[in-house]
Amino acid sequence: MTSQERTVAVLGAGTMGSGIATVTVRAGYRTLIHDLDDARVARGVDTVRGFLAKSAKLGKLTEEQAAEASARVEGTTELKDLAGAGVVIEAIFEDLAAKRDLFGRLDDIVGKDTLFHTNTSTLSVTGIAAGSALPERVVGTHYCNPAPLMKLVEVADGRHTASWAHEATIEFLASVGKTTVVTKDRPGFIVNRFLIPWENSCIQALENGLGTKESIDAAVTGALGHPMGPFKLLDVVGLDIHQQVATRLYEQLRDPKFFPPPMVDRMVAAGDLGRKTGRGFYTYDDNRLFGS
């Protein structure tokens, strides 16, 4: 592969961005994390390197593999530094105008055959692609959270996505060890159409005293076979992110089961967002997003 084909740019250094960057560096890609300021970029790079170090400690990587992967991640606040990327993965906050603007600005920076991936799960891939002069290269790639631990990525083409871009996307995702499912460009795709109402029902069950957070998590992992209970998962995702995603889906679908329960609003107002703030449904001494 050329250096361009081996370079990935990740836009956004938050939970999803740093998680996706962890996936790509672990798979051997040089990865550039871009965000608006140095502090955010530094946190994103530190999250990636922290996850790799912990993987080595747990024996999932050798010390040498972890060190090599850590050396492949870099950070920048300058879009021009992304010029050599063969794949750009957008993982910023769910704002259509902001996503469109980023892709439009990148049109004159990266090559014409660079793939543009958007990690949205609530906004239209077609609408985001309209920000680029080459909408045929834009593909929706929704990584399940936490990205370093979950194998599944949903792939959704926009109205003008070209077959070459779709096929190249499937190949890229296979190269980073992901399993793909193809879905339509519809609000929530497959996963969040099911997940958000289910998480809301778990929160309502807690509010109504059906069980404790511990007992509900234990029931879900022990009986349903989920790798993580709903409240542990919500703490990893972030209560603010759940609130945003649920609200956007409700606005588009007008189905009450997508509307976040009152407990979510109270937790967000209190700053109890989950692992990233050290407290959500549970409390954490280690607030790294992918800690134990």
* Class level of CATH domain 192-277: mainly alpha
Is residue 111 pLDDT above 60, yes or no? yes
154 is annotated as an active-site residue: yes
Verify whether residue 166 is a known catalytic residue.
Answer: no
Instruction: Tell me if residue 121 is catalytic.
Output: yes
Report the alpha-carbon distance of residue 269 to residue 271 in Å, rounded.
Answer: 6
Judged against a pLDDT cut of 80, whether residue 97 lies above it is answered with yes
Q: Of these residues, 18, 55, 119, 121, which one is catalytic?
A: 121
Sheet holding 138-143, edge to edge: 73-76, 30-34, 7-11, 87-90, 115-118, 138-143, 152-157, 179-183
The whole-number pLDDT of residue 286 equals 72
- Mean pLDDT (whole number) for 203-231: 97
Residues of the chain with CATH 1.10.1040.10: 192-277
| pLDDT tens, residue by residue, 73-95 | 999 999 999 999 999 999 999 99
pLDDT at 123 over 90: yes
pLDDT band at 224 (very low <50, low <70, confident <90, very high): very high
Q: Is 192 a catalytic residue?
A: yes
Q: What is the CATH number of domain 7-183?
A: 3.40.50.720
More confidently predicted of 25 and 290:
25
Query: Of 192, 199, 200, 242, which one is the catalytic site residue?
Result: 192
pLDDT band at 288; cut points 50, 70, 90: low
Q: Where in the chain is the domain with CATH 3.40.50.720?
A: 7-183
What does the alpha-carbon distance between residue 35 and residue 23 come to, in Å, rounded to a whole number? 18
The dihedral through the CA atoms of 171, 176, 177, 182 has a sign that is: negative
* Confidence at 291, pLDDT banded by 50, 70, 90: very low
Strand pairing report for 7-11 and 87-90 = parallel
- State the CB neighbour count (10 A cutoff) for residue 38: 11
Alpha helical stretches, state H, 188-238 = 191-207, 213-223, 230-237
Percent of the chain scored above 90 by pLDDT?
93
The model's confidence at residue 141, banded by pLDDT at 50, 70 and 90, is: very high
- Say which of 117, 142, 199, 242 is annotated catalytic: 142
Catalytic residue among 154, 199, 200, 242: 154
Predicted confidence band at 121 (pLDDT cuts at 50, 70, 90)? confident
- pLDDT reported for residue 292: 39
